Each structure stands twice: as C-alpha cells, then as structure tokens.
Amino acid sequence: MKKVLHVVSTINPKYGGVSEAIRNLEVGFQALKTSKLAERHVLCLDNEEEINEWNNHGLIVHGIGSVNNIWQYHKGLYKWLKLNCENFDVIIVHGMWLYHSFAVYKAISFFTRKRIKCPTYYLMPHGMLDPWFQNDRSRKLKALRNEVYWFCLEKEVINNASGILFTCEQELILARETFKGYRPKKELNIGLGIQSTPEFTDSMRPAIDNKPYWIFLSRIHEKKGVDLLICAYKELLEHNAQIPDLVVAGPKNTDYAKKMVQLASNCEKIHFPGMLQGDQKWGAIYGAEAFILPSHQENFGIAVVEALACGVPVLISDQVNIWKEIKDGGAGLVEKDTLEGILSLLEKWLTTDSNTRKIMAERAIGVYNDCFDVEIAAKRLLEVILK
C-alpha cells in the first residue's frame, strides 16, 4: 500500500481553497474504498491545538507550529522531512512561493545525493502559475519578486518534481506562458472535485427569504472583480429597479473589502453579510437565483462548483478556468472580466426566460456530476500515485 504525505503551508480552512482541496481529495479517496493506499498524512505550519479544532476528514495532520514571516520559513520543517519523509512513498506539495515547497525539494535532493531511498514528489500549484499574477498592473513589485524567486529557487522545485498536477486543462495550458525555463517532467490534469452538498433543510433558510437575490460568495479581493460587479449592478439598477438584490458574502475585514462596502453604501439592495459557513452558507447558495463570480483570475472556483452541485446557475467571467466546462454544459453564462462584460452578464440573465433558467439549473447538477464529483479527481490522483 502506498503512503502519501501532503505538504502545505496551512490546512486552516479560513485561508481558502488549498486546504479545502486537500480535504476533498481525502473524501474522494475514502469514497473509492481502495486497498491500495495506506493512511494519508498532512504536514503543515499550524499549531497542534488549532488542528484539533478543524474537521480534517480522517487525515493524520502533523502541525509543527505557526510562523510569522513572509516566506513562512520554519527551521523545523526541513528537519521533520529529513527524519520522516523516507517513511512515505509519495509527497504532494500544495502551493508555491513559500518555504514548504523548497524544503521538500531540499530534502529529496539530500536523499538523492546520499543514494538513500526517498519518495516521489509532485507539486500542485493551485493556480499559482497563472500568468495573470505576473501581468496584472497592480502587482508589479510582486511580479518582480516572483521572477527573481523563480530563477533562484522555484524553477528547480518545479522542474525536478516527478510531475505538476493541475486542477483543470485551462490551468495546465496557462502555466506554460508564465516563466522562462518552465520544463516540468510531466504535466498532469487530475482535476478537482467537491463532495456532494448537503440537502436543503429549513435550518438553511436564508434571512433574505422570499426575496430574489444574486449571490457572490468568495474572498472580497481585488482579483475577484467585486468592484466591477457592484458598479455593473448599480448601473443596471438605474434602468430596472425591480432586479434581485445582490448579496456579497465574504470576510469584510480587509482594506479592499471596506472599500467595496463604501462603494455600495448608497445602494440598499446590496448586502454584505460577512463570511457565511455551515447552514448559513448552504442556505444562501440554495436560495439564490444565480451565483456570480466575475474574477480576473480564478484557478478553479470551489464555490462555483458548490453552486453547480446545488443546482444554481452560475454567471462567471472567462477568467474562471472552468468556464469552458460550464459553457459547454449549459450550466450558466460566461462573459469577459470587464465592466461591459459583467453588465452584459447580468443583462443576459435578466432577459433569460424562466424555462431556460430551469434547464440551466438542471444542467448545473449534470455538470457537477460529470466533471466535478469528488471521486473523479481522487481516481485520477490515485492513478498517478500508483505509477
């Protein structure tokens, strides 16, 4: 049986999609009921007491302690890998640009030089090789930092991995455009899935019940296009006062989020409920007329897939990397990530008749079942692990 170690900077769910992806892969492995895998472990820079508070779906999590530096450097990480990584058959590194990916490369290189048996390692960038991060005008300094870091360290991490694992075909294609010297041994589209969503219950009934609304549910961040959504919505409202309300759900404590609240302050039909979890989250999705994500860059969009699984049509930009699956499957509408594009997205939805909307909702569930069920990605990753 193969023994797998996931290495990630944090598995705390409040930091977003990477930790959720690891949990969903584990749910998929458990659903497969395979006898070819031993237990799955996670190595992360979290405190043990924090880990005990989270639902890790049966994963064995090793937290070596949190750090407070920009590189997430922890001297204990490399030591742990040198002592323990030979006990594993496969290491999967999640994410880039932080110390944990370099530490794995450094440990594997040490064992290779000593001609000691060591695990195979793969890296899953989770969208971090997308060219948007290097091309966006607001990220010039960060792009320069990444360029230097790439040539000094990360290029070796990528090119020496046994393969790079992608969540969708579009991510795989875009990764080739970003940095010179990108020569991975293998590019593998394993996909990504989410576990089936809970059935709707009365406890999920949203506070805005009996009032139609559209929902944005994600981090309120510059790359998510929230400013475009608010501006497009307000412009649409000038010509049609009867449009559904807009719910912008996500943490409100960042400077950008506060700016968005201010931008929408003169519109009583835009609501900022904060981060929604559990029944509140599922109720908000189930109750929505449509789910909206106008991102400038979105590697996968777990919340988009959650909406599909709930049978909610999705309105997204063509910078959400799973846009093709959604468009081809008839599960929603797709436009460019510009003010004109998002305005067009909302206008098209308003002029879509109720029968077509019902068909979209049915197809949303079909796209989830065909493309994003949690077992699909788990099967593909299992094939990689067993090679």
Count Cβ atoms within 10 A of the Cβ of residue 56 and give its class: 0-12 exposed, 13-18 middle, 19 or more buried.
middle
CATH architecture, domain defined by 2-189:
3-Layer(aba) Sandwich (3.40)
Q: What pLDDT, on a 0 to 100 scale, did the predictor assign at position 195?
A: 84
How many angstroms separate the CA atoms of 257 and 176, rounded? Answer: 32
Half-sphere exposure of 51 (CA within 13 A, CB side): 22
Q: What pLDDT, on a 0 to 100 scale, did the predictor assign at position 277?
A: 86
Q: For the chain, which ranges sit under pLDDT 70?
A: 16, 206-209
Q: What pLDDT, on a 0 to 100 scale, did the predictor assign at position 50?
A: 79
Check for a shared fold between 2-189 and 202-372.
Answer: yes
Q: What pLDDT, on a 0 to 100 scale, did the predictor assign at position 20?
A: 85
Half-sphere exposure of 299 (CA within 13 A, CB side): 24
How many angstroms separate the CA atoms of 101 and 78, rounded? Answer: 10
The domains of the chain are located at 2-189, 202-372
Q: What pLDDT, on a 0 to 100 scale, did the predictor assign at position 41?
A: 95
How many angstroms separate the CA atoms of 386 and 14, rounded? Answer: 32
pTM confidence score = 0.87
Q: The domain 202-372: what is its CATH number? A: 3.40.50.2000
Q: What pLDDT, on a 0 to 100 scale, did the predictor assign at position 319?
A: 96
DSSP for 44-76, please give it. ESS-HHHHTTS--TT-EEEE-----STT---HH
Q: What pLDDT, on a 0 to 100 scale, did the predictor assign at position 209?
A: 65
